[in-house]
Amino acid sequence: MDITLLRYFYTVAKEGSFMAAAEKLDYAQSNLSMRIKQLEKTVGAELLIRSRNGVSLTEKGRILFGYAEKILSLSEEADYALREAGYQTKSLTIAAMESAAVTFLPALLSDYHRAYPDISVKVTAGTTDADVQAVLANDVDAAIVVGENAHEELCAVPLRQEKLVLIVDQEAGGTQDLPELLKKPLLVFPVGCSYRRLLERMLSDFGLAPVDKMEFTSLGAILASISAGLGISVFPETAVSAFSAGKALCTIPLPDKYATADLYLVYRKRSAGNKTLMNFIDTLKGEP
């Protein structure tokens, strides 16, 4: 099946009319119509329903449209990979949740810097959702996030599993009554944070509504505020010990269904030819 014909068909179906598709493709409308008929003859089925209002897909047209979308995407990906194969940049931008940036990431960056001292590395902090969008938008090379974030444009490399705990002040730590502790104000990152989502899910599962929420953009500020008795939060246990405020905090074990978070490094599939990024991933895996 001719991929050019598939591209013509996909564009017509996507644009909803031959006129709009011809304009987008910079191709004569009459010729475009002939090429679609050629494709229909090849597959032995009518793919488009023509009307005064434009075109719509037949049942077989809908089936082919789905495959055409995948085929064209793979074709573009292959073209990109061949063009960019073996390229190496002199800089690397990694997005990471702050809890990762202050715990295990520094040691990994140190290993990477020793191996590749000429590469300039920049680390930005954000929520899982924001960091995934930054990767997709090509604003960063990769991001450390919670969950695989299955997306057709992304690859995910498993990193580690974090033990999660409920973090409270020392006075509140005298009780192990989780439902009672969850009635305290929630100290959280903005919407899009995986740990905030988990905390809100816990409240919902326990049939509780949050008494209050206080949003922060700094993990240190959240932990210091918890130690001052302002509320509670959920983070990896390792994050607590990374701050001096941890001395004034207590950690409460969580039920198994909430107790762990799987961390991944996600990057664009199209970046597979970037040697700088691939070397960083090898460092994460402990490979030379």
Q: Which residues pair with 169 in a beta bridge?
A: 249
DSSP calls for the chain: --HHHHHHHHHHHHHTSHHHHHHHHT--HHHHHHHHHHHHHHHTS--EEEETTEEEE-HHHHHHHHHHHHHHHHHHHHHHHHHHTT---SEEEEEE-HHHHTTTHHHHHHHHHHH-TTSEEEEEE--HHHHHHHHHTTSSSEEEEES----TTEEEEEEEEEEEEEEEETTGGG---HHHHTTSPEEEPSTT-HHHHHHHHHHHHTT---S-EEE-S-HHHHHHHHHTTS-BEEEEHHHHHTSGGGGGEEEEE--GGGSEEEEEEEEEGGGGG-HHHHHHHHHHTT--
Rg (CA), the chain: 25
Question: Tell me, what's the pLDDT at 252?
Answer: 93
Rounded Cα gap, residues 156 and 267, in angstroms = 7
Residue 1 has what pLDDT?
81
Pairing of β 154-169 and β 249-253: antiparallel
Q: What are phi and psi of 143, to 5 degrees?
A: -145, 145
Spatial CA neighbour of 190 closest among 200, 176, 182: 200
The pLDDT value recorded for residue 150 is 73
Q: Own/partner pairs for 47-55, CB < 8 Å, 24+ apart?
A: 47/9, 48/9, 48/12, 48/13, 54/16, 54/17, 54/20, 55/12, 55/13, 55/16, 55/17, 55/18
What's the pLDDT score for residue 229? 93
Residue with tokens 């460092």: 283
Domain 161-258 fold is D-Maltodextrin-Binding Protein; domain 2 (3.40.190)
Stretches where the chain sits below pLDDT 50 are none
Asked whether this chain's domains 3-82 and 91-160+262-285 adopt the same fold, the reply is no
Tokens describing residue 103: 């715990």
Q: Which amino acid is at 152?
A: E
CB 170, CB 251: distance < 8 Å: no
Sign of CA dihedral 68, 74, 80, 83: negative
Report which residue type is found at 202. Answer: M
The fold adopted by the segment(s) 3-82 is: Arc Repressor Mutant, subunit A (1.10.10)
Domain residue spans of the chain:
3-82, 91-160+262-285, 161-258
Residues recorded for the chain? 288
Residues linked to residue 50 through DSSP beta bridges, in sequence order: 55
The predicted model scores a pTM of 0.69
Q: Which class would CATH give 91-160+262-285?
A: alpha beta
Looking up tokens 């895996």 gives 285
